Amino acid sequence: MEEDYALTQTQTASQVQRNLERFSGAQVDQKVSELVQFLLIKDQKKIPIRRADILKNVIKDYKEVYCEIINRASRTLQQVFGLQLVEIDTKHHIYILVSNLPRLDGENLKQDDRTAKLGLLTVILSFIYMKGNAAKESDVWEMLKKLQVEPGYLEYSRMPNTDLAEFQFQWGLRATKETSKMQILHFVAKIQSKDPTAWTSQYNEAAAAEALSHHTSAPGDAGGASRGARRRKQSAWSTSPTGATPRRLVNQQPLGAGASAHAEPSIQGSSGTLPLPS
Amino acid sequence: MATQMTDGHRRFLQVLMSHGIMEGSVARTLHRDCCEIHKVYYAHDKLDDFINVVNIHLQPFFMQIRKGMSEDDGKTYYALVNLAETEITKMASDYTENELELFRKTVSTMDAIIVSENGFASSTNILNLADQLKIKKMKKKEAEQVLQNLVQDKWLSERDGEYTLHTRCIMEMEQYILSNYQDLVRKCNICHSLAIQSQVCETCGIGMHLPCAGKYFKAQMEPHCPHCNEFWPHEIPEINRPDSQLPSSAPRERRGTSSSGTRRR
């Protein structure tokens, strides 16, 4: 979009200052407030937020100070709500809100129809991961049926190196932001009553991903705080009844999901039919 | 008292936001848990102070954690509401313009929620309204689905095929309703908040929430209207009992056909 030029972060400090002076403080405050509400509402419904929508519905005539508005909105979301505005698609500029707060188990969050779907989603993500990060379409369809998955959780693409057109599912951007391979692995381990290390290659891969994410985690990310404690030492994870399962997807607020007590039965109910590797 | 936001406050806010509305005892448990998890100062009777801290920070954004009372059970509820008197912003993102029109008509047209004395609109009436929508008429099946969504999202609540506003909706939209429908709506004579379901004095027209009536007339053998002193013709809901909306054992004489809204089993 041509408009994007005006929106990039490359305005000089004096340009920003001049632009801000054209609009009164109160007007900009109002826009920040509207944007915060807009982001919260869209994210509550799990709709990824497109920059184009932000511009059209909120910013409108204030495009020149778009950066200032979105920065302040982002700061507010962190300070007041403990939510971080994350760009999951840098090409098309799509955002989601992710909680900064430490992941918890059995959190007292809302349960509704979505919880059942998210339970199944966790199962699917597990399936894909256990299949070596990509699963054949035909295999996944057996489980998917008529599940409608919001954009971002799963990525559907053409498999390379096949003669006939065949597609595969992989983790989407939102999934990588909201959960982790280790959490999914622990979840699989739990429903199969095994130790996560039983799947060596998946375990190693997950551990490596954990190590990497702790090095690059944002300052606000509480998960990075326990750097040393949670790495390859399986004891901290597999024996802990609370830390073991990848409940974040199910319980984390941005997904508006449900308490463990309710999510588990639906997952365990379907695990019997899952062709998971042993 | 500290006025800084802590992670305890933020977690409380996130959880409340995901629920939309939360009953008092659930909120108190959440308060305790949030403080415990994040090692924040906790006093079991200071939930309102805790919430005030959050509200101070929400104020610039025209949002507030508000405390309200359910018209059904008289219990306290907490909800995160939008104070700005704009269009129904939260709803607007979930429903089409046509569906919003149906909702508005359900709330405010003749025979609809606000106007009816018992605060309920029958599904038959609502389906008729669906047939009269300006943008596009809605078929019965579609309207029923919209109603179901509205109930699930806690804008409406349903009882025996009739619909009224959910507590969450009342808390969220009280200002909006009071200013946009001020000639149509009633306020409770006891607590002065918006009253959707109410008992109404047939002589002078003042109304009361059922739980408010229950408290005000508690244990009075001969209840009289606080405004005009006429005999109060409705069943007084008994409070402090789990089935508080059941008619009391001593039948009262009724004048005319009163629509008190007390539950009949």
Q: Which of B7, B9, B11 to mutate to test the interface with A (most CBs of A within 10 A)?
A: B11
Q: What is the pLDDT of residue B52?
A: 95
CB contact under 8 A, A82 and B13: yes
- Reading the block at residue B118, the tokens are 């018992």
Taking residue A163's Cβ as centre, other Cβ atoms within 10 Å add up to 5
How far is B76 from B65, CA to CA, in rounded Å? 13
Distance from CA of A112 to the nearest CA of B (A): 9
Distance from CA of B162 to the nearest CA of A (A): 22
pLDDT in tens, chain B (265 residues): 458 899 999 999 999 988 889 999 999 999 999 999 999 889 999 999 999 999 999 988 888 999 999 998 899 999 998 876 555 566 666 788 888 888 888 887 755 787 777 888 888 888 888 888 888 888 889 999 999 989 988 889 999 989 999 998 899 888 888 888 888 888 999 999 999 999 999 999 899 999 999 999 987 888 999 999 999 988 888 876 444 443 433 333 333 333 343 333 3
Closest by CA position to A188, among listed A179, A199, A178? A199
Closest by CA position to A99, among listed B229, B17, B220? B17
The chain B residue lying nearest A111, using CA atoms, is B19
Q: Which of A29, A77, A81, A117 to mutate to test the interface with B (most CBs of B within 10 A)?
A: A81
Residue type, B253: E
Taking residue A236's Cβ as centre, other Cβ atoms within 10 Å add up to 14
How many helices (H) and strands (E) are present in chain A, helices listed first?
13, 6
Shortest CB distance from B10 goes to which of A82, A107, A108?
A82
**Residue whose pair of structure tokens reads 């200071």 in the numeric block:** B46
CB contact under 8 A, A79 and B5: yes
Residues of A in contact with B29 (CB under 8 A): 108
The chain B residue lying nearest A30, using CA atoms, is B61
**Residue whose pair of structure tokens reads 């509200």 in the numeric block:** B55
Distance from CA of B151 to the nearest CA of A (A): 12
Predicted model pTM: 0.62
Residue type, B241: R
The chain A residue lying nearest B20, using CA atoms, is A110
CB contact under 8 A, B17 and A44: yes
Shortest CB distance from A45 goes to which of B19, B61, B94?
B94
Residues of B in contact with A100 (CB under 8 A): 10
Find out whether A194 and A185 touch, Cβ atoms under 8 Å.
no
Find out whether B79 and B171 touch, Cβ atoms under 8 Å.
yes
Residue A103 per-residue DSSP state: P
How far is A127 from A275, CA to CA, in rounded Å? 8
Q: Which residue has the higher pLDDT, A20 or B125?
A: B125
CB contact under 8 A, B61 and A33: yes
Candidate from A115-124, A189-198, B160-169 with smallest mean pLDDT: A115-124
* Plot region of B62 (φ>0 → left; ψ -120 to 50 → alpha; else → beta): left
How far is B143 from B127, CA to CA, in rounded Å? 7
Does the predicted interface ipTM exceed a cut of 0.95? no
Q: Which residue has the higher pLDDT, B28 or A164?
A: B28
CB contact under 8 A, B14 and A101: yes
Q: Judging by DSSP bridges, how do beta strands B21-23 and A167-171 pair with one another?
A: unpaired
CB contact under 8 A, B29 and A41: no
Taking residue B179's Cβ as centre, other Cβ atoms within 10 Å add up to 10
Q: What is the pLDDT of residue A183?
A: 83
Query: In degrees to the nearest 10, what's the CA dihedral of B51, B74, B20, B82?
Result: -70
Residues of B in contact with A259 (CB under 8 A): none
- Reading the block at residue B141, the tokens are 């099946």
Tens of pLDDT, residues B64-116 = 999 999 998 899 999 998 876 555 566 666 788 888 888 888 887 755 787 77
* Cα-Cα-Cα-Cα dihedral sign, residues B192, B180, B89, A35: negative
Strand intervals (E) in chain A: 49-50, 83-89, 94-99, 135-136, 154-158, 167-171
Numbered residues of chain B with Cβ closer than 8 Å to any chain A Cβ: 5, 7, 10-11, 13-15, 17-20, 26, 29-30, 33, 37, 54, 57-58, 60-63, 82, 89-90, 93-94, 152
Give the burial string for B27-66 (b: 16+ CB within 10 Å, else e): bbebbebbbeebebebeeeebeebbebbeebbeebbbbbb
Find out whether A185 and A164 touch, Cβ atoms under 8 Å.
no
Find out whether B65 and B112 touch, Cβ atoms under 8 Å.
no
Q: Dump the DSSP string for A38-92.
A: HHHHHHHTTPPEEHHHHIIIIIGGGGGGHHHHHHHHHHHIIIII-EEEEEEETTT
How far is A123 from A143, CA to CA, in rounded Å? 9
Q: What is the pLDDT of residue A98?
A: 86
How far is B253 from A36, CA to CA, in rounded Å? 55
How far is B161 from B120, CA to CA, in rounded Å? 10
Sheet holding B63-69, edge to edge: B21-23, B76-82, B63-69
Distance from CA of A99 to the nearest CA of B (A): 8
CB contact under 8 A, B152 and A112: yes
